[in-house]
Amino acid sequence: MSNSELRLERNVELSAETKAIAEKELRETPERVREALERLRELLKENKDIYFGDDDELLTIFLRPCKWYPESALALMRRVAEFKRDNASLLDGLVPEHEKVAFLEHKVVNVMKGRDHKGRRLLIVNVGGSWNPKKVNADQLFRLFYLIHLAAMLEPESQVRGTVVLMDFYNMGWSQTMGFTPSFSKRLLTFIQDAMPLRLKEVHFVKQPRIFDVVWRMFKPFIRDKLRTRIFFHGSNMSSLHKHLEPSHLPADYDGQLPAIDYSGADWYPVIDHVMPHIDKWNTYGFVKKA
């Protein structure tokens, strides 16, 4: 497989079908878009304690998951700023180069090269036996998630149709179980539920062994009702997974009709690295630092 098949769909006009979804689910119309962009710019000028860019692309990233309500988009920006502040030790100045080894040498995170049957991006996280927490610890795992979301937020189709996460726990042992800490669990769920400007539609747990219960007990207290309804457990029952993700759009790894995955985060790394200008700008956003 050539890396050219792995690409970010940035600056792509929405398909007619996606436009219809945007209007139905997100209240997206040309007039509402114009009004919301203008109002959010005004709100940013009024709220001088936070700084974000005000170009259409960036503001749309926040407005779409908030259904084009400017005040809600501003609240999301504030939560992003708070999360960046509260996790500065992990996120300040973060760029792909900092986790290059984790991307290139460890097959922990991957993004399906195509979309699922509903046009959504599918992130696959391998935290079973193939994950070595001594080489890629929980903090690094989170940083990988974070860098991937910085790229995914640039895709108009993903902004509208949303994303799906598949957590693969195949051959999980004690070393992987102990790699999950309460602090990691809380940080990840705070990020997903409060500070991620993407529509997370579903989370699927597959091939989880009994030992997974230890991990679940750490995650469960931090999961709110909205996210709870979007989490599904399948174990080794791929027919159960297929009720949500059609086999025609899944690889053979999950009893799908597509070839087995032969690419990894190493192949996606150049794609993420290519959006460095966006990442550099993102690192400047948040609360205005006092002189």
Locus of tokens 């809380």: 186
From the list 141, 90, 88, 162, the residue with the least C-alpha distance to 265 is 141
Average predicted confidence (pLDDT) for the chain: 95
Strand partners, 110: 124
pLDDT digits (tens, 9 = 90+) for 238-270: 999 999 999 999 999 999 999 999 999 999 999
pLDDT digits (tens, 9 = 90+) for 57-116: 999 999 999 999 999 999 999 999 999 999 999 999 999 999 999 999 999 999 999 999
**Residue 153, Cα to own-chain centre: how many angstroms?**
8
Q: Please give the single-letter amino acid code of residue 208.
A: Q
How large is the average pLDDT for residues 204-210? 95
Q: Please give the single-letter amino acid code of residue 166.
A: L
How large is the average pLDDT for residues 134-141? 95
Distance, in Å, from the CA atom of 200 to the CA atom of 196, rounded to the nearest integer, reads 9
Structure-block tokens of residue 274: 């290519």
User: Is the pTM above the cut of 0.85?
Assistant: yes
Q: How many CA atoms lie less than 13 Å away from 243 in the CB half-sphere?
A: 7
Give the end-to-end CA distance of the chain in Å, rounded to a whole number.
Answer: 50
Residue 2 has pLDDT above 50, yes or no: no
Q: Which residues have C-beta within 8 Å of that of residue 55, sequence separation ≥ 6?
A: none
Q: What is the pLDDT of residue 291?
A: 67
SS3 126: strand
CATH 3.40.525.10 region(s) of the chain?
Answer: 98-273
Please state, in angstroms and as integers, the Cα–Cα distance from residue 157 to each residue in 29, 101, 121, 192, 248, following that order: 16, 29, 9, 19, 20
Query: With the CA atoms of 176, 86, 265 and 200 taken in that order, what torsion angle do they form, in degrees rounded to the nearest 10?
Result: 90
The DSSP letter of residue 202 is E
Q: What is the pLDDT of residue 6?
A: 86
Residue 122 has pLDDT above 80, yes or no: yes
Q: How many CA atoms lie less than 13 Å away from 58 in the CB half-sphere?
A: 16
Please report the sign of the dihedral spanned by the C-alpha atoms of residue 57, residue 28, residue 151, residue 257.
negative
The H-assigned helical ranges of 47-167 are 56-63, 70-86, 88-91, 100-105, 138-152, 156-161
Q: Which residues have C-beta within 8 Å of that of residue 131, sequence separation ≥ 6?
A: 106, 108, 141, 176, 179
Q: Which fold has domain 98-273?
A: Phosphatidylinositol Transfer Protein Sec14p (3.40.525)
Distance, in Å, from the CA atom of 20 to the CA atom of 194, rounded to the nearest integer, reads 27
Q: How confident is the model at residue 1 (pLDDT cuts 50, 70, 90)?
A: very low
Q: Which residues have C-beta within 8 Å of that of residue 202, sequence separation ≥ 6?
A: 164, 165, 230, 231, 232, 244
Structure-block tokens of residue 54: 């005000």
Neighbour-count burial of 284, counting CB atoms closer than 10 A to its CB (0-12 exposed, 13-18 middle, 19+ buried): exposed
Distance, in Å, from the CA atom of 291 to the CA atom of 272, rounded to the nearest integer, reads 33
The DSSP letter of residue 169 is -
